[in-house]
Structure 1
């Protein structure tokens, strides 16, 4: 197993090849090599499995015409070698790589369908000046392509690689999201179903596809007829008997034996399900029979399982049964992942997969491969059995539809036999209708949905079992599972092999009667019959399929804070894909066991955000690591993020886009000096914090002459209500607010403000209900509705009162943890202001104390300013004008305080001395 990469159409560039190889070094840490000839460069990373001493790549034929970079294993290489030797080919190594090279030299592209295995091939023909790429019949091994500009920028060139990271590492392709693929993933839950990837401009070869690149351009075509042959198969509906079962058992055993060929240790991935258990006991039978095919396994089989003790989907009891069914020695390795470990691994898991996954299930496989890498280099897995033998409920539904259409009596009989399986579908649909809670489409932004309104997804073969199985094998299901397996195994330099995906075995199954697939309500009928008496009935006749998955529902509830942290982040709010308010509301509803959405819906949303952060956002790696660390160490709610420096902001240090000076409507001028503070928490002494940080600010003003000796006659301290509420313990993480049904309903009828502030979320609405009572909120809501009808705005808050008006929800522009908190207004803000003023006057020089006009508690944002409380005698209207453009920055600027200098003498503006609106002066912006 290896990693391949390279280019066509560029000048010689060994540095580029080395960058590509380094980006996927984990795929092949044992050896590396590069090759350059004319317009072509090849890079190879080798994981040595067969003929560890030989097989160095890129590998050339003796005459130098063909050069090969190859990723995979061809299991029938010995038979092919014998055939090629009869055609006068000579071999210098014992590797399958050399067989693949000579096969291409002999048969060209026709050689690919002769290969039984998994492979991604790049072969350069020096004489024809063509580069040929090919992917195995099932697409087990990946090949990615990107068209780029050539060295001169006037023509086109091509990059190819096993992993997308290698293409990005060249610096010749800028990572950008493919919005169509993102939409289909989010809306229809599909991915890996075509040539497009999540990266705009990067494509994949499809299963059984090849590409030829030359000076004439790129040509793609299917070399394999496997998919068409399976689709055209027309076996009889019934007739599977003992000979069918024996043929299947023999075919599976032969496939397993081929995939045990290795010069390094081989292990088994064991979930406890039928498929992986069949492989484990198959290997055991070879070991106990002293079959030479199992030599690489060693004296005892090593199995690797992920188990989840205490969770509903724990399969350990079936793992125990499978191990007990083995007669030889078995060393059973079991890992027990936790939700906390998943968070620790999440960034690496997203990097590993390169594209979003449909659930967290592949994380369990990721951890299994991580553990396996400590003991073995090759792992056999059960992928593919579900797709070829109808392991999923929708395939059973397709079978029943086609059977009912063909033979109603037989169809009714099969429906009755499958009633327990079908009942799960019926219950799920009933639950969705009864619970309501909206559709996934409501969580997407209006513009994003409109842009892709014509994009739909229809499952092929909906009423035909065989067509449905072919669709799942090559389009709908298996391609994504194979991607998961490839990335997870190769991340830890492990080769994953899949015995069920032997072309000969799959062809044999599709030639069997339908009742070999589904019979008497049992799917995988021929596999169950083949394992009868070999595996225990607890596995053979088991109904509740789980597979390699994770306790996703439970984990998401355990780590709800993490989800909120992501959904409330500024980056998430800036994405063009989501309606953030609806996402938050739906997630809260799901946590309350309501709504029709499931945990996979929220995983898809989270996964897109994490993928964007990892691959698309222009962000240094160190900053990414710091961000990942912060989400697992949330402290108590606070108003701003702390910094080592607590220097006040002055002059050119003022908040970006804000002016120091402001001309008021009466022509007078005020100057605002924002003051930076550290993180404000519930344990802080507000009075001490204000005095400690206002004092240094006043040192800049001297002994009072900056006020009394200038055009400014008095000064104030303005303070954000957020820090007051925080120190009064009136700030709460959203997940700590128990939301009622009333709050959930009422919040949906509140107009959302552009800044996301107000009662448009169930969290803030619940605080309003708790603060003033449900009856008053209901009356205010009714009054607000009437007000809208007659064109009056703000009636709701007039009736609800200032305490409700001051409630703030989490806002994306605030830094963590303020962006995850909802806050009540401060209690008795005028009393707080008077207390602070007394302390300030006692702490400053007499001259400054004499000109100090008081403290003002404000609810200020970019939409305006409301004075909540003050001990100043200045009219409230004037105080609010002083903050008409909100110079404070309570997010990353960390300035919840301001010293404000006020001039009562008019400062006329020659252009508009009597302007009707407060506005910043020109030329005074710092």
Structure 2
């Protein structure tokens, strides 16, 4: 696990600054504290920060082929590298190391752009082929590892694992993209391929970018996509057996390391399944770690302990204080962009705990998306049955009117909170799912934005993110469609972003066996009835794990990894919210309707409404302005271009 960065002159071979490259590389020191190296030649510079995991002795980067005509910088792990080495040796390649990185340069020489098809793992890399005068960049299929890039006005292309490395170059314009702001307040993150800055982009998952010197920079090319064919003829027992086999293989590959290794153990079915499979294949006790919460409503520590006791793991637990909100500014600097998932706080803490004992940790991330685990999936399927009973032409006026008339009852028991359901029933499937996923609904975002900012949006709405992906889903199965949307949006923009930044802040590598692309492809062939059956989510995973895990671990209500925002904003964070949202950079930006924000603050403090989610989103946006934009730039949207200074953690 590492940090990569660099620049490339797309037009010629201008001399590039070693000092600038060093500054870009140093901005990501936290991603690789073990070593840092540079490669510089006319028109090109590669930087690498190394966290040594495999081939510690000889796996340094930037890494070259035999005649040094091809060089690569790489972040991630190629889990099948050991099987690729003899295949490449048979093609005549000579290996100087035992690292997975060297597989990339030789695979490029033999297979060109199709080399990515052969890699099984999480990866983001940039490769330069001097003979072909070609730069090639690629990102793994499910977007576990990040890759940012930007084409400057002078033809210089920048890239890096984190946006801060591009900012450190000094040539990137930090003009805020209003469309990115709209996506942030709808989704809680800026969706691929956009970034918060107009000039920078994220390379989307399962995409590569080929750039030949002297030619225009084109668009990224997709090299993989998950397909939900749902056509496998397989029984429940056979599917359980096959899933168990695939999980064991995926975990075995991810247990290869030359450093201490362990796992996160939350007490949920996903992480518990990973630990159970690890215990089957480990020669000694598995290292596990958990975060406990003072508030019993959020605490799953007892369930984690049950699994730890069953498999006799070396289990470590730390308790997160109920008022652990001192990380707000740290998170803003760490994520580089506005990011509103409050579970980033406990994720940061569990990574901090894990790093005290291991360098690599396996996680259960991706299980909800691939196995059908979210509560919202069941609600969506219930709504779909109602939507299918009436045509949209009847539903839209009927339920649209009910949605307008029904009060928003945050204070009431869930059964009486029908407003969101009525609003969803008045929409088509994709729009309804976007509505249920939005942190702030369309009408709420419209009220939040100032008139001048709405003019900047030009009618753009974040709904287009979901519509764009739905058009490529290749399925109209209600569950498969929203699973596909989630794998393209929420999994990448929220979950993977959260875990990557939180783990790398502590120089910890996190591996994701439930996101193995071969497992994801196989699950896409299974009927949706094996994922949700009779109201039971993750049906197949739970059935497969029954011999390994107790029922009270698997068949219990999902708790999640949450923090008590509503209480914070009425108590210890009350003054901070007022200071941040009613004055300072947020107000000076001119992007928001201050009367709407003031009303939200008053209603939340008074207890008549729960505005904790939009208030947290605004608080984190303010933290972004103060910590990343330095506050000095927040003087109106068109002028949001800050000084080109190094932004570090």
TM-score, normalised by the number of residues in structure 1: 0.60
| SS at 2:460 equivalent | coil
Using the TM superposition, give the Cα deviation of residue 135 of structure 1 relative to its aligned residue in structure 2, in angstroms: 0.5
- Are the counterparts in 2 of residues 271 and 315 from structure 1 also a CA contact under 8 Å? yes
Mapped pair 1:308 → 2:308: no
Q: Please, which of 583, 602, 609 is the counterpart of residue 569 of structure 1?
A: 583
> Following the alignment from structure 2 to structure 1, what is the Cα–Cα distance between the partners of residues 565 and 262?
27
Distance in 1 (alpha carbons) for counterparts of 2:79 and 2:51: 16
Aligned-residue CA RMSD (Å): 2.6
Q: 1:221 to 1:478 in 2, by over 3 A?
A: closer
| Secondary structure class of the residue paired with 1:465 | helix
- In the other structure, the counterpart of 1:555 is 568
Deviates more, 1:484-493 or 1:580-589: 580-589
Q: Quote the Cα distance in structure 2 between the aligned partners of 1:322 and 1:3.
A: 34
Work out whether 1:254 is the aligned partner of 2:237.
Answer: no
Q: Which residue of 1 aligns with 2:147?
A: 143
CA-CA distance at 1:428 after TM superposition: 3.5
- Asked whether 1:319 is paired with 2:315, we answer no
- 3-state SS of paired residue (2:576): helix
Task: Name the counterpart of 1:122.
Answer: 126
Cα deviation digits, residues 822-853 of structure 1 (max 9, x gap) = xxxxxxxxxxxxxxxxxxxxxxxxxxxxxxxx
Matched, 1:334 2:318: yes
What is the match of residue 44 of structure 1?
Answer: 48
Choose the corresponding residue for 1:393, options 375, 381, 385: 375
Q: Residue 334 of structure 2 contacts residue 505 of structure 2 at CA under 8 Å; is this kept in 1?
A: yes
Is the 8 Å Cα contact of residues 271 and 363 (structure 2) preserved in structure 1? Answer: yes
The SS at the match of 1:442 is helix
Contact persistence 1:325–1:536 (CA under 8 A)? no
Q: Quote the Cα distance in structure 2 between the aligned partners of 1:562 and 1:593.
A: 18
Change (3 A) 1:246 1:463: closer
Matched residue SS, 1:307:
strand
- 1:568-601 deviation digits (Å, cap 9, x = unpaired): 3232321222222321221221122213x53111
Deviations 1:226-269 (A, max 9, x none): 33xx14x2426x85410001111111111111111100111211
Cα distance in 1 for partners of 2:533, 2:202 equals 37
CA distance in 1 between counterparts of 2:590 and 2:117 reads: 44
Task: Give the drift of 1:385.
Answer: 0.9
1:490 paired to 2:504: yes
- Provide, for residues 801-820 of structure 1, a one-character-per-residue CA deviation record: whole Å limited to 9, x for no partner: xxxxxxxxxxxxxxxxxxxx
Secondary structure, in 3 states, of the residue corresponding to 1:441?
helix
Report the Cα offset of residue 70 of structure 1.
0.8
Deviation at 1:286, TM superposition (A): 2.1
Aligned pair 1:455/2:468, yes or no?
Answer: no
CA gap of 1:379–1:539, structure 2 versus 1, over 3 A, is same
Gaps of 5+ in 2: 391-411, 424-440, 471-475, 634-649
Alpha-carbon deviation of 1:190? 5.0
Q: Is the deviation greater in 585-594 or in 450-459?
A: 450-459
Identify the residue that residue 131 of structure 1 maps to in structure 2: 135
Q: Distance in 2 between matches of 1:400 and 1:589?
A: 32
- Cα pair 2:625 2:631 within 8 Å, conserved: no
| 1:241 and 2:236 correspond | yes
The residue matched to 1:312 in structure 2 has which SS?
Answer: helix
Question: For residue 551 of structure 2, what is the aligned residue in structure 1?
Answer: 537
Equivalent-residue separation in structure 2 for 1:500 and 1:432 (angstroms): 31
Give the Cα separation in 2 of the matches to 1:425 and 1:126.
Answer: 62
Report deviation, 1:433: 9.4
For 2:484, which of 440, 460, 470 is the aligned residue?
470
Pairs aligned (count): 579
Aligned residue for 1:605? 618
Specify the alignment match of 1:584 in structure 2.
Answer: 598
1:376 aligns with 2:374: no
1:570 and 1:191, CA in 2 relative to 1: closer, same or farther beyond 3 A? closer
Matched, 1:445 2:434: no
Corresponding residue of 2:494:
480
Residue in structure 1 matching 2:100, options 85, 89, 96:
96
- 1:737-787 deviation digits (Å, cap 9, x = unpaired): xxxxxxxxxxxxxxxxxxxxxxxxxxxxxxxxxxxxxxxxxxxxxxxxxxx
| Cα deviation digits, residues 396-432 of structure 1 (max 9, x gap) | 3444566789999xxxxxxxxxxxxxx9975443599
On the 8 A contact 1:113/1:137 being kept in 2, the answer is: no
Q: 1:80 aligns with which of 84, 93, 112?
A: 84
Post-superposition offset of 1:342: 1.9
Evaluate the alpha carbon distance shift between residue 50 and residue 191 of structure 1 in structure 2; reply closer, same or farther with a 3 A threshold: same
Higher relative contact order (CA 8 A, sep 6+): 2
Kindly report which structure 2 residues correspond to 1:511-910, keeping only aligned pairs within 5 A, or say none: 511-543=525-557, 545-558=558-571, 559-595=573-609, 597-617=610-630
After superposition, the Cα gap between the structure-2 partners of 1:404 and 1:445, relative to the gap in structure 1 and judged at 3 Å, is closer
Query: How do residues 137-216 of structure 1 correspond to structure 2 at under 5 angstroms?
Result: 137-150=141-154, 156-186=155-185, 188-213=186-211, 214-216=213-215
Asked if 1 retains the 8 angstrom alpha-carbon contact of 2:600 and 2:611, the reply is no
Q: Which one of 37, 49, 63 corresponds to residue 59 of structure 1?
A: 63
Bigger mean CA deviation after superposition, 567-576 or 134-143: 567-576
8 Å Cα contact 2:288/2:313 also seen in 1: no
**Counterparts of 1:4 and 1:342, CA distance in 2:** 30
Task: Name 1:923's counterpart in structure 2.
Answer: none
Distance 2:444 2:224 in 1: 40
- 1:1-16 matches, cutoff 5 A: 1-9=1-9, 10-16=14-20
Shift of 1:439: 3.4
Give the counterpart of 1:25 among 29, 53, 72. 29
1:272 pairs with 2:267:
yes
Question: Following the alignment from structure 1 to structure 2, what is the Cα–Cα distance between the partners of residues 605 and 338?
Answer: 21
Secondary structure, in 3 states, of the residue corresponding to 2:167?
helix
Closer, same or farther: CA 313–18 of 1 in aligned 2, 3 Å: same
Give the whole-Å Cα distance in 2 for the aligned partners of 1:199 and 1:337. Answer: 35
Q: Give the C-alpha shift of residue 325 in structure 1.
A: 2.9
Q: 2 CA distance for matches of 1:363 and 1:170?
A: 29
Counterpart in 2 of 1:367? 349
- How far apart in 2 are the matches of 1:32 and 1:362? 27
**Residues 432 and 108 of structure 1: CA distance in aligned 2, closer, same or farther (over 3 Å):** closer
SS at match of 2:559: coil
Structure 1 pair 159–431 and aligned structure 2 pair: CA distance change class (3 A): closer
8 Å Cα contact 1:240-1:513 kept in structure 2: no
Distance 2:413 2:62 in 1: 52
CA drift at 1:128: 1.1
Shift in alpha-carbon separation, 1:603–1:519, aligned structure 2, 3 A: same
Q: Map Cα deviations across residues 175-219 of structure 1 (whole Å, 9 max, x no partner).
A: 232221112222x22534221111221101000111122220212
Structure 1 residue aligned with 2:337:
355
The verdict on how the C-alpha distance between 1:387 and 1:348 changes in structure 2, with shifts beyond 3 A counting, is same
For 1:507 and 1:400, the matched residues in 2 are separated by: 26
Tell me if the contact between 2:207 and 2:224 (Cα under 8 Å) persists in the aligned partners.
Answer: no
Answering whether residue 513 of structure 2 is matched by residue 499 of structure 1, we say yes
In the alignment, the residues of structure 1 paired with residue 630 and residue 333 of structure 2 have an alpha-carbon distance, to the nearest angstrom, of 13
CA contact (8 A) 1:401 1:464 kept: no
Cα-to-partner distance string for 1:258-288 (whole Å, 9 max, x where unaligned): 111100111211222111111112212223x
Change (3 A) 1:431 1:243: closer
**Is contact 1:72-1:141 (8 Å) kept?**
yes
- Give the superposition deviation at 1:166: 0.7
CA contact (8 A) 1:121 1:134 kept: yes
Q: Match of 1:132, SS? A: strand
